Structure 1
């Protein structure tokens, strides 16, 4: 059984208190036992038992009188001595029992106080743990800001805050570099594409030149998609500067209409169940989120498969597709840049490997989250949760629901 630090501190505090109390009890018992009289040392009528017998200093007649008197008083002395011994034994026993009960009660109270003290002492550590759990690369604005005495815990909290400041600066610098580099690369790529198209438009161009130009255009197009994805990823990672109400169901309907041709080429059937849903955010980023999910669901599918898009109150968006089986331990890796199932590579005929990374970044920028679970028969179920506008009660759409708009495409 794994005990928490708080429990261990409380148990340690209580055990140490009980040990100190037991030592004190033993000392008190020894002192009281040596102080209380017993029958052998108790005086009766101003004399001890030794004084009731004959002594060498007394006259013979006095000794004889004392001897006869002692013989006559011996039964009374024995009764008194027995009573004194009984009293001593009873007093020591009573003191031991009462002290033991008091020690147990005070020990339990000490354990409770130790529990409360440990909770108060470890409260900054709990705040540090909670802050660390909320941190992500896209949300580095959380700090502990511990207020209290200048002790070890405050030093730990300040050190943690300083580390977060350095990490936030590093992430911001990385995002700016990616955005600036991607922006600077767009111009030469556009120039290259124009030069290739001009060369291919020449009537005297040879077949070898046309094949080379076609290959270069394909490479150039893929590079442009990669740079566009990096720019969008950097933009969503920086967060939203402004928000406006966006009808997510209308955005999804537009994306589904635009994906009909792609679905037809792949032999995939697309259906949608769209209920009205308003999301405060950026319409361009939300459109890219839906587009990436729908296109991924079509690309990573099987001929004759299906894709279902659902928009509701909670969750906001669900995209389910058929296709190859996905191991459950590989699902989370799909949201990392340039990661695909069971392989890391950037070359792909239809994308740059940033689709789901952009989806996760856009969802986080809107204060939401995205998760995926493999379907038993193959494919994925991707769920996007977005904040519900103020004044609206979120309802789980896993139960019966009213579908306000249904579209189907082949």
Structure 2
């Protein structure tokens, strides 16, 4: 049976049960308080037997009337009660077919159906945004992967058409292009693993991760004339040491690469509060607007407006940072510094 039929029968059943109970109480009252003797004369109690027979003969039509009213009223009330659910069901069917732009927009009081409809609309909005972001990401990833392959094909065609070309130079170029393709593939794999959130959580000290990342990237900083400094205190978190080290390394790497041409600085600090811990990475650099900074976590967005150089990365550094922060129930905040450069703060729950 449908929910509407069940509600109708339930309403009619309860109404009938109430009627039977009421008639039973009246019957008990008559048996207890109506005198047994009495004559059917003016000013005297009527004969109890006559009253009981009359009551019994009238009880049947009364119950039949209650049944009809219960069925009709229950059908109408069930239709009104289930109307919002029908709209939610239709929206679900449309979403299952791929139409995520439809919204229920249920009117009326803030009851359980309204809360369910609003929650479903919110879910559709987030899902639509997520699907759109995934499509953009897939398109960008395809473009980024196609670029090194197209360059490799061009180099090979030039070498085939010109046998006198220096093959050592060709091999060097192919090596650079292939290394970039490998870096991009590895970044996509890291992003995919982080997005799945399937990892074991362990106690992690962000200050130790900051020291490890800065030590690893110190040669890069020295080669670019960037002063790398670390400071802070014990910052216990709970998460994946591998992913959080990747997060820290990406932040420090970006801070070194996107810096002043010479004489730049990078400051990496950690701190701990009562409920949260923070990892902060600041660097010098060009002055950036808040509007531009808000786009830096988008996939394949580079801080130098997609200018490529040896250490430019593949455009997924901050995207990976944002994803890793999210799966660790943290927040990522990026501020442009008034003197130029960025201040990036990762806040995680304290472990």
TM-score normalised by length of structure 1: 0.48
Mapped to 2, the partners of 1:310 and 1:226 lie a distance apart of 28
SS in 2 for 1:326: coil
Residue by residue over 1:102-128, the C-alpha shift from the partner in whole angstroms, topping out at 9 and shown as x without a partner, is xxxxxxxxxxxxxxxxxxxxxxxxxxx
Q: What's the Cα RMSD here?
A: 3.7
Counterpart mapping for 1:152-231 below 5 A = 153=110, 155-163=113-121, 171=130, 208-231=166-189
Corresponding residue for residue 202 of structure 1? none
Pair 1:266–1:364, CA change in 2 (3 A) = same
Contact conserved, 1:175 with 1:237, CA < 8 A, in 2? no
Report the CA distance between 1:273 and its aligned residue: 0.6
Corresponding residue for residue 288 of structure 1? 246
Residue by residue over 1:341-367, the C-alpha shift from the partner in whole angstroms, topping out at 9 and shown as x without a partner, is 473x48553301111111111111111
Residue by residue over 1:310-341, the C-alpha shift from the partner in whole angstroms, topping out at 9 and shown as x without a partner, is 01214521111111111122111111111234
Mapped to 1, the partners of 2:210 and 2:282 lie a distance apart of 14
Matched, 1:234 2:192: yes
Corresponding residue for residue 331 of structure 1? 293
- State how many pairs are aligned: 225
Residue by residue over 1:131-168, the C-alpha shift from the partner in whole angstroms, topping out at 9 and shown as x without a partner, is xxxxxxxxxxxxxxxxxxx9665544434444566677
Contact conserved, 1:346 with 1:352, CA < 8 A, in 2? no
Mapped to 2, the partners of 1:294 and 1:258 lie a distance apart of 10
Contact conserved, 2:258 with 2:304, CA < 8 A, in 1? no
Contact conserved, 1:326 with 1:341, CA < 8 A, in 2? no
Structure 2 gap segments, 5+ residues each? 1-106, 156-162
Mapped to 2, the partners of 1:226 and 1:385 lie a distance apart of 27
Matched, 1:318 2:277: no
TM-score normalised by length of structure 2: 0.55
Corresponding residue for residue 308 of structure 1? 267
Pair 1:167–1:361, CA change in 2 (3 A) = same
Contact conserved, 1:240 with 1:365, CA < 8 A, in 2? no
Contact conserved, 1:325 with 1:374, CA < 8 A, in 2? yes
Corresponding residue for residue 272 of structure 1? 230
Structure 1 gap segments, 5+ residues each? 1-149, 197-204, 390-410
